[in-house]
């Protein structure tokens, strides 16, 4: 029998305790959801930008476009570094951009000698840059310089740059061949 003779105008202890436990659990779950959503958003942005670079329909890309993308990624990294959601260890969110960061650093700093000498070493500066990816991007840059500089063959600096790109492409192809062997 359920008797209301001692009605106290307050909720029962089991209801209060259950709801407060639910509230703590809900807050904890919302915190985890916010972390997951933030990490997922950063990974999605990074993956989308990398896919844009490597999209086969994008046949040409200039160094200026890479510098702009670099500025955009720096803004994303600034967001990640600011800790938009508490609870991430160190630079965890920055890891979402690390593949893209290393690729852009390689191209914007034109650091091919370091990449080619250190490739495959565990301490390599560009550990996350795949030679297939860098080759695909470099070939898009070569196509851009070839089509945009009709008169480039008459300027020594442009000819030298084109030769350098050709040399790097050969070295990357050799690296890929060695990797497959």
Query: What confidence tens digit (pLDDT) does each residue in 32-80 have?
Result: 888 899 899 999 999 999 999 999 999 999 999 999 999 999 999 999 9
The model carries a pTM of 0.80
Query: How far apart are alpha carbons 22 and 19 in whole angstroms?
Result: 5
Look-up of token digits 């492409």: 169
Could you say which DSSP state residue 145 is in? Answer: H
- Lowest mean pLDDT across 1-10, 57-66, 109-118, 141-150: 1-10
Q: What is the pLDDT of residues 78-87, one digit of tens each?
A: 999 988 888 8
At 161 the pLDDT is: 81
Q: What percent of the chain is helix, strand and coil (3-state, nearest 5)?
A: 70, 0, 30
Q: Assign residue 10 a region (left: φ > 0; alpha: ψ between -120 and 50; beta: otherwise).
A: beta
117 pLDDT more than 90 = yes
Measured between its terminal Cα atoms, the distance across the chain in Å is 82
């Amino acid at each position: 029998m359920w008797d209301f003779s001692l009605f106290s105008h307050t909720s029962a202890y089991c209801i209060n305790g259950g709801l407060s436990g639910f509230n703590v659990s809900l807050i904890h779950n919302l915190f985890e959801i916010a972390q997951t959503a933030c990490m997922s958003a950063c990974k999605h942005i990074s993956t989308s930008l990398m896919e844009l670079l490597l999209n086969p329909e994008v046949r040409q890309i200039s160094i200026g476009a890479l510098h702009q993308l670099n500025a955009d990624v720096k803004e994303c990294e600034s967001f990640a570094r600011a800790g938009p959601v508490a609870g991430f260890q160190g630079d965890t969110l920055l890891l979402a951009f690390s593949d893209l960061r290393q690729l852009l650093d390689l191209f914007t700093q034109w650091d091919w000698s370091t990449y080619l000498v250190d490739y495959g070493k565990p301490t390599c500066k560009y550990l996350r840059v795949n030679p297939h990816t860098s080759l695909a991007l470099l070939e898009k840059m070569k196509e851009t310089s070839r089509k945009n500089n009709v008169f480039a063959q008459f300027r020594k600096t442009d000819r030298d740059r084109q030769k350098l790109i050709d040399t790097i492409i050969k070295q990357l192809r050799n690296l890929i061949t060695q990797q497959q062997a």
